Structure 1
């Protein structure tokens, strides 16, 4: 009886400790539906757990994200969740959190250094390979493709590109990347970059963009020239899924940003309640799947 009472008391104490605690979430940008969904998943989990989530938008600026994290440290939040704008540039800020004794969890994009308790993300290399396999099969293992890269320095751009190109090299060597350019995960830049590529490259059979925003921008440029070129994106944002359903976009690799946000907050709450912080970063993968439409003809 006494043992049950002690267990109940410890559980109750953990709930009290979590209630009202502050958790910081530093996002690379909220000018992207993917990260809005990630934030929403985090907010829902925070509300359920009774913790206060402080959300800061870095607006895709490294200097602002560093300043935001320093602000969270000054606020003495219990855990900091970081979606890095730049995997290397964010390291000094993470190290400052480490020195202040505040655990750090990275979400969607990893950090190149500093002590991180958990990394919650899709396997972006696997997602890149998934996109490459789809393109390879669509082109019957031969053709010329364009790759629109994300923000240089982000783990998502690096890993998605690595997976895509590794698959082509290993399994589909006659599908060649004839143009590779960054559009910084941005729809407007995806449009302008694709316009320039279409002027320089007359024979393009497919496009792979590291996210849906760039894919939708590229699609706009392709349509403006009266062409029909299959475009594959990454993230499965609502706009992209609608475009797949209408046979405008060929496919998108579906992540689960809401789930990422939820898991990040749940891990933060576990830490606040007294769970041991891992000595080395624990990667928590969030499943991926390809969203395509078999009714479409390419």
Structure 2
């Protein structure tokens, strides 16, 4: 009788299978090609692991309120897990802690969140962004021969990923006393248009500069358009970040001297894989570096770089 009772209770409890997992993947934005690569990686993992992906994020990469609202909505809907690229390392902490309290695993991708991976959220999967900024800085110093005037157009305040890149870049500049920073505290904003406007407003300094660095896709593209608009394309040593098609085309033409490329497809893939591991109660690596590399006209056709770029 006791065995029959236990059997009936076991049958009454639903067993959550992989096919029942619904994982929300929330990027910083949905317009830049970088995020389309993240989505492709997330979909690769979803097909491999037989889980459902809900891809939803803000249209603009400065809409913190919408991203917070999305996380809150998914938590309330009892989504299985969340993969999140936080727009703000502080503002998204509360919603992520709320998910944690409801036993909804959260994997942070792309940009850091205040807290401890493995304790406050399941895992942090991202580029070593400070290293990426250092790669850009070292290449710009090399191209300038160790001296010259430089403009940095930052992305936006509160973004941990681009902030780390900017600080990595500036650390290299400070180690070279013959490099003079003309601009280092101006922000381009979250869109190509806002970055182009910011660059146009800095044009007097840009004309004076020998080198330029921009830390993400939107600022690099916006600066590219501003240089084109003012006839300065190819006349400044310009190092950017990310490998959108239009930026790779500019690299091929010599309008951009170098790009630091990430691996967003791998980031999206591992983000979902780690979310599924957390749901299954399997060990999850607390911190995963998805890698980055300097791309130049000389190395862009090598097997290693083509693999990184998904070509």
For the residue of structure 1 that corresponds to 2:193, the secondary structure is helix
Match of 1:243 among 247, 250, 253: 250
| TM-score normalised by L of structure 1 | 0.88
* Superposed displacement of residue 148, structure 1: 1.1
* Superposed displacement of residue 274, structure 1: 2.4
CA distance in 2, matches of 1:26, 1:91: 14
| 2:307 is aligned with 1:292 | no
Superposed CA offset, 1:237-262 (max 9, x none): 22211211121111110100001000
Q: Is the 8 A contact 2:38 2:265 kept in 1?
A: yes
State the number of aligned residues: 277
Other-structure match for 1:7: none
| 2:212 is aligned with 1:207 | yes
For the residue of structure 1 that corresponds to 2:208, the secondary structure is coil
In structure 2, do the counterparts of structure 1 residues 250 and 277 end up closer, same or farther at CA, with 3 Å as the change threshold? closer
Q: Is the 8 A contact 1:126 1:163 kept in 2?
A: yes
Structure 1: 5+ residue runs without aligned partners? 1-14
For the residue of structure 2 that corresponds to 1:19, the secondary structure is helix
| TM-score normalised by L of structure 2 | 0.84
In structure 2, do the counterparts of structure 1 residues 16 and 66 end up closer, same or farther at CA, with 3 Å as the change threshold? closer
Residues 222-233 of structure 1 correspond to what in structure 2 (within 5 A)? 222-227=227-232, 228-233=235-240
Superposed CA offset, 1:116-174 (max 9, x none): 1110000000000000000001100111111111121011121001100111112x221
Superposed CA offset, 1:206-241 (max 9, x none): 110011321122122112222221221111122211
Structure 2: 5+ residue runs without aligned partners? 1-14, 300-311
CA distance in 2, matches of 1:132, 1:155: 18
CA distance in 2, matches of 1:234, 1:119: 21
Q: Is the 8 A contact 2:26 2:55 kept in 1?
A: yes
Other-structure match for 1:253: 260
Other-structure match for 1:283: 287
* Superposed displacement of residue 276, structure 1: 4.2
In structure 2, do the counterparts of structure 1 residues 201 and 252 end up closer, same or farther at CA, with 3 Å as the change threshold? closer
